[in-house]
């Protein structure tokens, strides 16, 4: 579905546009989310994530921020699925009480401050990557979080592998500048 078709549907009836998007992209989004959450989530978790994806996609379409709906849906689905995966994985972890008397070596090795700093850096990094916009954020996430090759990423973002490599290089330079601006340097 093209941006022009979406705008026409939106003018006629937003409900029609929503139904058309669900019909065209429903299975596609479900597969993306299912592949990420099947190891840790229930069917309800997967359906909740799919609903979140479409809610975000509808907002983006209403705001007129979408040129390629399928690509935008894939990007949102991947990000939302990763967020849900992290949340569900964190819930499922068993907790162990670390007492100085019972496990002194664990208490010494457990660096709460360092872990907290590391988590904050990760949150800032993801925020700055997302601020690069599409397709740069998708390219960086696919490359560095999922270890995909330029050829694999090229299929996802519908570009050539050489274009993906050059966009990745430029995006990394922009990311370095934005991270330096927020006080994170190597």
Residue 106 located in a structural domain: no
Alpha carbon distance 6, 183 (integer Å):
41
Find where tokens 């990763």 sit.
82
Please calculate the CA angle 128-153-173 and round it to the nearest 5 degrees. Answer: 35
Quote the distance between the C-alpha of residue 131 and its chain's center.
12
Residue 48 located in a structural domain: yes
* Domain around 129: 111-186
Residue 45 located in a structural domain: yes
Residue 102 located in a structural domain: no
Task: Note the pTM of the prediction, 2 decimals.
Answer: 0.47
Query: Would you put residue 64 in left (φ > 0), alpha (ψ -120 to 50) or beta?
Result: left
37: its two tokens? 């959450």
At 148, which CATH number?
1.10.10.10
Helix (H, G, I), strand (E, B) or coil at 106: helix
pLDDT per residue, tens digit, the chain (186 aa), is 666 777 777 778 878 888 888 888 888 889 888 888 888 888 888 899 999 998 888 888 777 777 788 888 888 999 999 988 888 887 664 444 444 444 454 444 444 455 555 677 778 888 888 888 888 888 888 888 888 888 888 988 898 989 989 998 998 899 888 888 877 766
Strand partners, 68: 2
Shared-domain flag, residues 74 and 140: no
Residue 136 located in a structural domain: yes
86, with CB counted inside 10 A (0-12, 13-18, 19+), is exposed
Q: Under 8 Å CB-to-CB from 10, ≥6 apart: which residues?
A: 17, 61, 62
At 72, which CATH number?
1.10.1740.10
Shared-domain flag, residues 115 and 66: no
Domains identified in the chain, total number = 2
Shared-domain flag, residues 70 and 153: no
CB-based contact 174:136 (threshold 8 Å): yes
Q: Report pLDDT for 131.
A: 87
């Amino acid at each position: 579905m093209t941006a022009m078709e979406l705008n026409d549907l939106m003018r006629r009836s937003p409900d029609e546009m929503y139904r058309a998007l669900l019909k065209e992209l429903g299975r596609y989004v479900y597969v993306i989310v299912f592949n990420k959450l099947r190891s840790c989530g229930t069917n309800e978790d997967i359906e909740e994530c799919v609903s979140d994806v479409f809610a975000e996609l509808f907002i983006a379409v209403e705001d007129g921020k979408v040129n390629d709906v399928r690509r935008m849906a894939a990007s949102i689905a991947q990000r939302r699925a990763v967020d849900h995966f992290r949340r569900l994985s964190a819930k499922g972890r068993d907790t162990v009480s670390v007492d100085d008397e019972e496990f002194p070596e664990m208490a010494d090795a457990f660096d709460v401050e360092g872990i907290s700093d590391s988590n904050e850096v990760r949150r800032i990094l993801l925020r700055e990557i997302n601020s690069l916009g599409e397709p740069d954020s998708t390219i960086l996430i696919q490359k560095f979080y999922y270890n995909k090759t330029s050829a694999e990423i090229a299929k996802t973002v519908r570009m050539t592998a050489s274009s993906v490599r050059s966009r990745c290089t430029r995006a990394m330079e922009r990311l370095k500048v934005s991270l330096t601006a927020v006080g994170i340097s190597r």
